[in-house]
């Protein structure tokens, strides 16, 4: 039944790929995806900033209702990231301390909520990755409907079950399943190049002449 269904995930990014991406800044990955993909700047880390990386278990739920999120905690495997499209509504919290504790106990890699959480102080002291759009003390309902392992969209960023979800202090990003190898290779080079630039700045060898060259190419008088 559309709107009330639990589907099987047909594919998922492997553990080794998820671990490799965990070593790279989300900003560098984003640069190598043409800066075109984002789950929205309001999806912020609610934990202590530990990086997150893992394949998505997707959930679409009615705003303010977390019945299918509870089921997703059972469906998910160790290393998975539960991604919840709750419509961005902040009226009722979708998860709190108890659900986070259970997710951590089951070995999940993180939770993303396009909606609100509660127990923010307790979650904030912990290292289990939780990204959300806001905080409210008002709890959720458990009536459904909802869907698990369907395509979801967080503020225009489409996520398929099994896609790679990464997050750090700058926010979250989805790397599509079929793009992980290419994006990783380009991001490793980007990260290394930025390391060289930082070393040049530290050694007083940084050359900013590219700025004027760029301005001239755009027709800006200097």
Q: Which residue would you say has higher pLDDT here, 37 or 47?
A: 47
- Same domain membership, residue 201 and residue 134: no
With contact defined as beta carbons under 8 Å apart, do 12 and 149 qualify? no
Binding-site annotation, residues for substrate: 96-99, 118
- Same domain membership, residue 106 and residue 78: yes
- CATH code for position 161: 3.50.30.40
User: Which residue range(s) make up the domain with 206?
Assistant: 186-218
- Same domain membership, residue 194 and residue 92: no
Which residues pair with residue 166 across a beta bridge?
53, 173
Place 49 in a pLDDT band, splitting at 50, 70 and 90.
confident
Total tally of structural domains belonging to the chain? 2
User: Is pLDDT of 2 > 90?
Assistant: no
Tell me whether strands 164-168 and 171-175 are parallel, antiparallel or unpaired.
Answer: antiparallel
Residue 22: helix, strand or coil by DSSP? helix
Binding-site annotation, residues for Mg(2+): 119
- Same domain membership, residue 171 and residue 146: yes
Global confidence as pTM? 0.94
User: Is pLDDT of 65 > 90?
Assistant: yes
In sequence order, the 6+-apart residues with CB closer than 8 A to the CB of 83 are: 56, 57, 58, 59, 111, 112, 152, 154, 159, 165
- pLDDT mean across residues, the chain: 96
- Distance, in Å, from the CA atom of 29 to the CA atom of 12, rounded to the nearest integer, reads 19
Q: What is the pLDDT of residue 1?
A: 78
Name which of 92, 101, 69 is nearest 139 in CA terms: 92
Place 111 in a pLDDT band, splitting at 50, 70 and 90.
very high
Q: What is the pLDDT of residue 37?
A: 87
- Same domain membership, residue 149 and residue 109: yes
- Same domain membership, residue 196 and residue 152: no
- Same domain membership, residue 124 and residue 38: yes
Tell me the per-residue pLDDT of 112-169, one tens digit each, with 9 for 90 and over: 999 999 999 999 999 999 999 999 999 999 999 999 999 999 999 999 999 999 999 9
- Same domain membership, residue 165 and residue 56: yes
Classify burial at 66, counting beta carbons within 10 Å of its beta carbon; exposed 0-12, middle 13-18, buried 19 or more.
buried
- Same domain membership, residue 103 and residue 194: no
Residue 113: helix, strand or coil by DSSP? strand
- Same domain membership, residue 168 and residue 70: yes
- Same domain membership, residue 67 and residue 36: yes
């Amino acid at each position: 039944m559309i709107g009330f269904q639990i589907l099987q995930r047909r594919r998922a990014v492997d553990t080794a790929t998820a671990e490799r991406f965990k070593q790279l800044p989300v900003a560098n990955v984003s640069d190598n995806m043409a800066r075109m993909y984002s789950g929205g700047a309001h999806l912020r880390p609610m934990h202590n900033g530990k990086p997150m990386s893992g394949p998505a278990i997707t959930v679409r739920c009615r705003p303010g209702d977390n019945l299918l999120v509870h089921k997703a905690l059972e469906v998910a495997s160790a290393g998975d990231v539960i991604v919840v499209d709750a419509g961005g509504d902040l009226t009722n919290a979708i998860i709190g301390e108890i659900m986070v504790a259970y997710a951590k106990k089951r070995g999940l890699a993180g939770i993303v909520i396009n909606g609100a959480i509660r127990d923010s102080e307790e979650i904030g002291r912990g290292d289990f990755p939780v990204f959300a759009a806001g905080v409210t003390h008002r709890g959720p309902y458990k009536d459904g409907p909802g869907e698990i392992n369907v395509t979801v969209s967080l503020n225009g960023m489409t996520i398929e079950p099994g896609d790679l979800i990464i997050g750090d202090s700058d926010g979250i990003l989805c790397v599509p399943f079929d793009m992980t190898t290419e994006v990783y290779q380009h991001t490793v080079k980007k990260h290394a190049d930025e390391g060289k630039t930082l070393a040049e700045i530290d050694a007083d060898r940084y050359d900013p002449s590219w700025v004027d060259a760029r301005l001239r190419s755009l027709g800006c008088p200097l």
